[in-house]
Amino acid sequence: MVNILVIDDEPSIREFLDIFLRREGYNPTLVEDAVSGIAKLGEKTFDIVLTDLRMPRGSGMDVLRWVKDNNSSTLVLMMTAFATTENALEAMKGGAYDYIIKPFKVDELKLVIARAIKRINLENENTKLRHQLETRTARQRLIGSAPALKDVLDIVERVAPTNSTVLITGESGTGKEMVARAIHSRGLRAADPFVPINCGAIPENLIESELFGHVKGAFTGANQDKEGLLTAAETGTVFLDEIAELPMLMQVKLLRVLQEKQVRPVGANHDTQIHCRFLAATNRDLEEEVKEGRFREDLFFRLNIIPIHLPPLRDRKQDIPLLAESFLVKYCEEQNRNMHGIHDEAMAQLVAWHWPGNVRELENTVERAVTLGQGTALSLKDLPQRVRDVERSNSFSANFEVQEIPEQGIPMEDWLEAYESHLLTLALEKTNGKKKEAAKLLGLSFRSFRYRVAKLGIQNGLDDET
């Protein structure tokens, strides 16, 4: 519904505009002078102000100035009874969107308003596009503020522009592939192919030919020459995922490839130069695999030049709210849903759960909640039973009491913000969402309360007026 504020001292004009605008399907508010007009603008957001230029108390220019000073996106349309272009021109110079000269015909008015609305829609469309663009880049961004993850991001930045081999370790779903892609996309090879190879998924007898290629007739079924993935990757990045699954014989061959940067296609009698960079990942403890004799020590050393370890999500719980919120935005957009945030109790359960499937499990949980949830925010009942039932001994609110600063330190700003958010939410809950009362409970002015609520993104779908 388009909200239009009409400011005019002449009762007959107000009456006419009221009837006309309603009939056109708009939502008009009518006041008789600039002072009350400005007061209304301060209370509520209007899409359009249709104001007379000359009035007894204040002028249309005062209204225009207020709109501009307050950085409001409201479009100002001037009505002027003086058929002199100077007045209108002055208003346009001051930032009015358009003007109309009184007395006007209904058709003229229709046209001016239609133009303004077209402009508003265009602007909204732009904002939406910009938002989509931002979330799309955010989607590929590694999220995390925990010290452990900050270290990871730091190494990623530093190794990205080099050719070093990186070994990424961590439990399933901790983001190993995401880190590999981040290294690739921030490096000099970003424009070249990123070739992920799941070493555990290729049948043992085919691995060599998949990686190195083969020549026609090398084995039964090799009806023609085939290029291997390592050559196909050209100057890009080869990501050897699940590297611990590589059979012993292939480990030997891979070591040679890493050292010599040459491959020999199956059945060929000459080597081919390769130019790719290697990244590898595993969710196993490779050192343990070496000890057990399942992984070659020399290959381990060759791969482990720069190790990156991704800690499990349960060891960096402060990243959970950040990740959950970003997945909420991602899936709301993808599924065209409109959820404003995550209720506090739901967030507390998300933080309390130990996430054996790590970030992937969290992402799937939020996706499911967005798909099945009915409300305007993600709430407790949208979470799977196992997450809902977990004992909150280690929960968010209990966490606020710090007895001792842990080894790795704590991000104080984040903690204070989280605590502030916690208090604001509790106050809102107590007053059933009435902001003025909640502000009083916390000894804050309404303005300050409203500012904090907006800053911390606490949204309960509440009316701003109460």
Ligand X SMILES: Nc1ncnc2c1ncn2[C@@H]1O[C@H](COP(=O)(O)OP(=O)(O)OP(=O)(O)O)[C@@H](O)[C@H]1O
Of 170-189, which residues contact Mg ion (CB under 5 A)? 177
Residue 173 contacts ligand X per CB under 6 A: yes
Give, as ranges, the residues between 197 and 226 that touch Mg ion (CB under 5 A). none
The nearest distance, CB 378 to ligand X, in angstroms, is: 17
Q: Which does 192 bind (CB under 5 to 8 A by kind): ligand X, Mg ion, none?
A: none
Considering the complex, what minimum distance in angstroms separates the CB of residue 25 from Mg ion? 53
237 near ligand X (CB under 6 A): no
Query: Smallest distance from the beta carbon of 170 to ligand X, in angstroms?
Result: 6
| Subset of 2-61 contacting ligand X (CB under 6 A) | none
Site for ligand X (CB under 6 A): which residue of 236, 363, 396, 458? Answer: 363
Which position among 172, 235, 259, 371 is part of the footprint of ligand X (CB under 6 A)? 172
Torsion angle, CA of 74/77/78/84, rounded to 10 degrees?
130
Structure tokens at 276: 């790719």
Of residues 103-132, those binding Mg ion (CB under 5 A): none
How far, rounded to the nearest angstrom, does the alpha carbon of residue 280 sit from its chain's CA centroid?
27
Query: How far is the C-alpha of 275 from the C-alpha of 192, rounded, in Å?
Result: 11
Long-range pairs for 36-45 at CB < 8 Å and ≥24 separation? Answer: 36/7, 37/5, 37/7, 37/63, 38/62, 38/63, 38/66, 40/5, 41/5, 41/66, 41/67, 41/70, 41/72, 41/74, 43/465, 44/3, 45/3, 45/72, 45/74
- Tally of residues, the chain: 466
Residue of closest CB approach to ligand X? 175
Kindly tell me which of 177 and 414 has the beta carbon lying closer to Mg ion. 177
Of 88, 72, 64, 50, whose CA–CA distance to 123 is shortest? 72
- 422 φ/ψ angles, rounded to the nearest 5 degrees: -60, -45
289 binds Mg ion (CB under 5 A): no
**Three-state SS at 104:** coil
The CA distance from 124 to 118, in Å, is: 10
Selection from Mg ion, ligand X, none that 32 binds (CB < 5 to 8 A by kind) is none
Q: Which is nearer to ligand X, 272 or 364 (CB)?
A: 364
Separation CA 276–CA 161 (nearest Å) = 14
User: CA 108, CA 118: separation in Å to the nearest integer?
Assistant: 15
- Whole-angstrom Cα distance, residue 244 to residue 284? 7
Query: 49 or 143: whose CB is closer to ligand X?
Result: 143
Compute how many residues bind ligand X; rule: CB under 6 A.
Answer: 16
360 binds ligand X (CB under 6 A): yes
Residue 286, class by beta-carbon neighbours within 10 Å (0-12 exposed, 13-18 middle, 19+ buried)?
buried
- Based on CB atoms, which residue is closest to Mg ion, 4 or 179? 179
Scanning the structure block, which residue is given the tokens 């100035």?
65
Instruction: For residue 460, count other CB atoms closer than 10 A to its CB.
Output: 18
Residue 283 lies near ligand X (rule: CB under 6 A): yes
Q: Does 311 bind ligand X (CB under 6 A)?
A: no
Residue 161 φ then ψ, to 5°: -80, 10
Determine the interface stretch with ligand X among 7-15, 113-121, 169-177, 295-303 (rule: CB under 6 A): 169-177
In the complex, least distance from residue 359 CB atom to ligand X, rounded to whole angstroms? 3
* 176 sits near ligand X (criterion: CB under 6 A): yes
Q: Which is nearer to Mg ion, 9 or 177 (CB)?
A: 177
Residue 350 in the binding site for ligand X (CB under 6 A): no
The answer to whether 175 contacts ligand X (rule: CB under 6 A) is yes
Interface ranges with ligand X (CB under 6 A): 142-144, 170, 172-178, 283, 323, 359-360, 363
Residues binding Mg ion (CB under 5 A): 177
